[in-house]
Chain A
Amino acid sequence: MDQGSAAGTGGTFISLSDTEQRCFSGLYALCQPDSSGKLAAGKVAELFRASQLPAETLHQVTEVCGAKRLGYFGCGQFYVALKLMAAAQTGLPVRLESVAGELPLPVFIGITNEHEMRYPNHPSTNEIQAHILGSLPGSAPHPPADRAVLRHPDTSMDKQEAWSPPRSPGISPPRSPSAYRSYPYAAQRNGTDTLLVYDGKVAGRPSIPQENSSPSHYSLKVQSEQPVITRVASVERLVERAEMDYSDDPWRITEEQREYYTNQFRSLQPDLNALIMGTVAKNFFTKSKLPIPELSHIWELSDVDKDGALTFPEFCTAFHLIVARKNGYLIPETLPATLRPGFMETGVVTAPPSEATEPLIVFDDHTMPGANQLEMGSVDLQMTSRPGVTAKQDTRDESRKPEFSPKRIPDPHEKPIQRVSTLKPDSPQELDANMKSRTRPRSYSSTSIDDAMKKVEEPPTPPPRPQKTHSRASSLDLNKLFQQSAQGAKSGWLPRPPALPPRPPATQIFSFLPGSEKSSQKAVQQPNFADFSKFSEEQESSVRGGLSTEDLAPPKSDSTLRHQGHTPQKPVRRKLHPESQSATPPLATPCSAATLTKSTQRPPPKQKREIQMAIRKNRETNAVLTRLNSELQQQLKVVHRERVTLESQLELLRPVTST
C-alpha cells in the first residue's frame, strides 16, 4: 500500500490513482523501455493502435505529451500519453487540462487486461517499478516529470527537455555520503540544476546514478557483497521508501541544498544571522520566473514571522519552495513541517540559536541510526528525523521572539497564546496560526510606532491631495471650495511678491507734482496711472527711502488703483521690491487667477506653515499699508488744495501777463 499511498499522495498532484499507477507502470514495462528510458517506438505504436483512437487523436496525443518534440517516448511522456488517451476515450479533448481530473483507465484492446492480471498485487508492481527505476535511471524523475508535465503544461515541457540532457551525462563520483543518491532526490537535484542554470551559476552537476554505480553509492549503507538481486531488492525497497516519503522528500532540505542556499544567502546578505529585506528578496526570487501570485504565496508560507524580511531559515524555505515549484510540485497550503524554520534547530530555549552549526549537528546525529539499516539506506539520511519538531518549533519561535523583540512592541497577549501552543503541538496549521500570532506581537493602540510605521509604509506614494468628495452633503463640497480658495489665498502670495517701488520722500513727490498730479488725479480710473507708476518707480528707485512702509505706500495706492484690473503692472513693481510682499488680499481673487491655479497644484502640507507665515506677514503689511494709504490720501488732499490755490493764482496772474 505504500506504493499506492505514495502514488496517491504523489498523485494529489496529477491524480494518478492506484490502479492507474499500476496500469501505467505495467504498460510502460510492456513497451520495452531501453536503458535510457526511451520506449520502443514500435511497441508504443502498437499500444496506441490498441487504444482504438483515431490516428489524428493519436497524433495529437503524441504532440501534447511532448514526445513529438523530444522524438521519443520517455517515461513521463508515456504516462501523459496514457492519460490523454484515457481522456480521449472518455470524449474529452486532447489537452493537458483534461488529464487533471479523475479519468478512467485507458482501454487498450488486447493488452491492458493481461497486464492488470499479471501485476495485480502491489509488491510485484512495485518490483517492476523498482526494477524499472533501478535499471533506468532516466526514469527516476518520472514522477516529477509527470507532475511537471501534467501540472504545468507550458513550463514543464521545457523543463522536461531540460531534464533529458541531464539524464545522459556521465556519472560523477559522489562527493559525500550517499545521502543524496536516492532517485527522487536526483530529481530534486535536477531541479536544483535548473535553478543553478537560471541563476547563472554552475554548480557541480549531480550525477544520475546508473545501475552499475549504484552499488557504490549504497555501499556505505548496503553491503557490497550483496548479490545483484538483493541489490535490486534493496533498491526497490529504497525506492519504495523513497516513494513512500516521496511526497515528503521534496519538502526536506538536504545538506547540499542547504549549502547552495547558504551561498545564495551570502550573495544577498553577508551576515547569516541578518535579514534579507523584502524588496531584495523580491528581486531575487522574481528571477526565477515564477508567476507573481505563486511567489506571493511562497512568501506567505516562508515568512513565518511576517516581518517582511527573510531570515536565513526562511530564505532556505522560500528558496526550497521555489525549487520545488519549478520542478512541478504544487506548493501546499501550509508550510510542511520539514520546512519550518524551527526544523533544523535543536531545542534551544533561551540562547539565540546558531543556525550555521545546528543543522549539521542534527544531521550527524540522525545519520548514525540510519546507517545501520540496510533498507532505510540513504533515504534515512535524507529523512532527518525530527523528534518533536513541533516542540523545537515552539522553542525556536520563543528564541526567535527575543531576536525580534527590539523590532516589536511586545504584547502581553502573546504570552498566554504561547503557553497554549506548547500544550498542543500536534496540528501544524494551528501552530502556524499560533506562530504567526505569537511572533508578531501586536499592539492595538493606534499610536503604536510599529503600526504607524507599517501604515506609513503601506501606501507606496503619498497622494497629491485627498479629494474630499462627499456625495451626501453639499456642505462638504463647500468646505472643499473654501479649502481650495483659502489655500489659494494662502499660497497665492508666495509666487507674487509684488515689488512695491520705494516711496519717495515727500519732496520728491512735490517736485514732479505738477506733472504727475493731474495724472494721479485722473489715474484713479484711467490707465495712464501706468505711466505715473513708471515715473514714480524710476524716481523712487533712485531715491530709496529707508522706510519700507513709505516705500510701500505709493505702490499701495497704485495697487488699489490697480485693483481695477491693471495686472500687468505687478511684474514691474516686483522688480523693485522683490523682498517686500505687499499682500493685498482683496486683490488676490481677481488678479491672481493665473497664479491661483499654479498655487493650488503645489500645496504640500509642509509648505502650509510657510504659507501661513506668509499670510500673517502679508496681513501685517496690509494693515500697515492701509494706514499709510490713509495718510497719503490726506497728504494728497492737502497737495490737491495747494494745487488748486496755485492754479487760481496762476489764473489771476495770467490776464495780467497776457495783456
Chain B
Amino acid sequence: MAVCIAVIAKENYPLYIRSVPTQGELKFHYTVHTSLDVVEEKISGVGKALADQRELYLGLLYPTEDYKVYGYVTNSKVKFVIVVDSSNTSLRDNEIRSMFRKLHNSFTDVMCNPFYNPGDPIQSKAFDSIVSTMMVQAF
C-alpha cells in the first residue's frame, strides 16, 4: 500500500503524481524528485551498453526513517516511483514488484490510447483507478 506513486517521464518531469495524505504532498514531491538522482545513478551504472540486460525493477532506492522509496524504470526511461510507509513492514519485495508491474501495464494502456500524446500529463481514469487500488486507503 503505497503512500505516494509517481510516474516520471524520460526528461525527468512528472507525468503523474499522487499521494494519499494530500496535505503532505509537497514533501512527497520533494522525495520523488530527490529519488530521481538515485534512479539516474542506478541506470547509468550499467555502462554504455544498451539497456537490454538491465533489470527494470530497481528495488529500494533509499530508506528514510519515515518511508521507503522504490524505483522502476522502463526501457524508454520512464520511471515509476513508489513511496511506502516504513511502518508497513509486511510489504515484501514481491508485492512491490507486482505493484510496479500493474503500474507498467496500465501505463502501457494509457500509451496505447491514440488520443494520448506522450509527454502529456496522464489523465486517464483507468490509470487513476489502478493507482487508487494501490494507494493506502485514506481514513
Contacts and interface: CB of A to CB of B under 8 A. Distances in A.
Interface stretch (A79-87, A465-473, A521-529): A465-473
A282 B114 contact: yes
A572 B106 CA distance: 61
B61 to A, nearest CB: 13
A458 B116 contact: no
A300 B125 contact: yes
Of A437, A454, A471, A472, most B-chain CB atoms within 10 Å: A454
Given A300-B126, A458-B78, A472-B37, A446 B44 contact: no
6 contacts: A296-B123, A300-B109, A300-B125, A446-B75, A454-B112, A468-B44
A440 interface: yes
Given A440-B105, A468-B44, A470-B37, A446 B52 contact: yes
A99 to B, nearest CB: 25
B59 interface: no
A75 B78 CA distance: 53
Nearest to B116: A296
B123 A293 contact: yes
B125 A451 contact: no
B37 A455 contact: no
Q: What 9 A-B pairs are tightest by C-beta distance, nearest first? A: A278-B114, A308-B112, A282-B114, A296-B115, A455-B76, A455-B75, A306-B109, A458-B76, A446-B56
Interface of B: 10-11, 37, 40-41, 44, 51-56, 74-78, 101, 105, 108-109, 111-119, 123-126
Interface of A: 278-279, 281-282, 292-293, 295-297, 299-300, 303, 306-308, 333, 436-437, 440, 442, 444, 446-447, 451-452, 454-460, 463, 466, 468, 470-472, 476
A295 B52 contact: no
B52 A458 contact: no
Contact of B101 (A436, A442, A476): A442
A593 B123 CA distance: 47
Contacts of A436: 109
Nearest to B117: A460
A295 B115 contact: yes
A444 B113 CA distance: 21
Nearest to A473: B41
A470 B34 CA distance: 11
B54 A446 contact: yes
Nearest to A285: B115
A291 to B, nearest CB: 10
A470 B37 CA distance: 7
Contact of B114 (A281, A451, A459, A470): A281
Contacts of B101: 442, 444
B105 to A, nearest CB: 6
Contacts of B116: 296
Contacts of B109: 300, 306, 436, 440
A433 to B, nearest CB: 9
A446 B53 CA distance: 8
Contacts of A296: 113, 115-116, 123-124
Contacts of B113: 278, 296, 299-300, 303, 308
A454 B55 CA distance: 17
A308 B114 contact: yes
A299 B125 CA distance: 11
Nearest to A472: B37
Contacts of B112: 278, 303, 306-308, 454
A459 B52 contact: no
Nearest to A300: B126
Given A300-B109, A436-B109, A446-B54, A292 B75 contact: no
Nearest to A442: B105
A59 B11 CA distance: 54
Nearest to A437: B105
A473 to B, nearest CB: 8
Contacts of A295: 115
A295 B101 CA distance: 26
A451 B118 contact: no
A279 B124 contact: no
Of B111, B115, B116, most A-chain CB atoms within 10 Å: B115
B118 A458 contact: yes
Given A296-B124, A446-B75, A452-B75, 5 more contacts: A297-B125, A299-B115, A444-B101, A454-B108, A458-B74
B79 to A, nearest CB: 13
A455 B74 contact: yes
Contacts of B11: 463
A182 B12 CA distance: 55
B121 to A, nearest CB: 11
Nearest to B106: A436
Nearest to B36: A471
Contact of A471 (B37, B52, B53): B37
Nearest to A451: B75
A518 B101 CA distance: 78
A456 B74 CA distance: 10
Contacts of A306: 108-109, 112
A446 B114 contact: no
Contacts of B115: 282, 292-293, 295-296, 299
Of B40, B44, B55, B75, most A-chain CB atoms within 10 Å: B75
Given A296-B123, A472-B41, A454 B114 contact: no
A455 B78 CA distance: 9
B118 A460 contact: yes
A362 to B, nearest CB: 29
B44 A476 contact: yes
Nearest to A297: B125
Contacts of A463: 10-11
Contacts of B52: 446-447
